[in-house]
Amino acid sequence: MSDYNLTVNITAAILGANAVGDGWFDLELQGTDAQIQSGLTYLQDLELQVWDDTQRSDW
């Protein structure tokens, strides 16, 4: 995500065998609000499902 000047930390991931099939990554993104929004829009444009946990009450 260097095109968006974001720092990306992969905190967890699960992939199918040989990276085939469904999987998920738990990402921590660091940047300005605008940079993060642009990066998330890019991921959605790739038709990736994005879950936003920034509204979690346990933080």
Q: Note the pLDDT tens digit of each residue in 1-59.
A: 678 999 999 999 988 777 666 788 898 999 999 999 999 999 899 988 888 777 554 54
Dist CA 9 CA 42 (whole Å): 17
Dist CA 51 CA 29 (whole Å): 13
The pLDDT assigned to 59 comes to 45
Task: Identify which of 21, 34, 27 has the alpha carbon closest to the alpha carbon of residue 54.
Answer: 27
Pairing of strands 24-30, 7-14: antiparallel
Helix (H, G, I), strand (E, B) or coil at 30: strand
Amino acid at 37: Q
The pLDDT assigned to 7 comes to 95
pTM for the full predicted model: 0.70
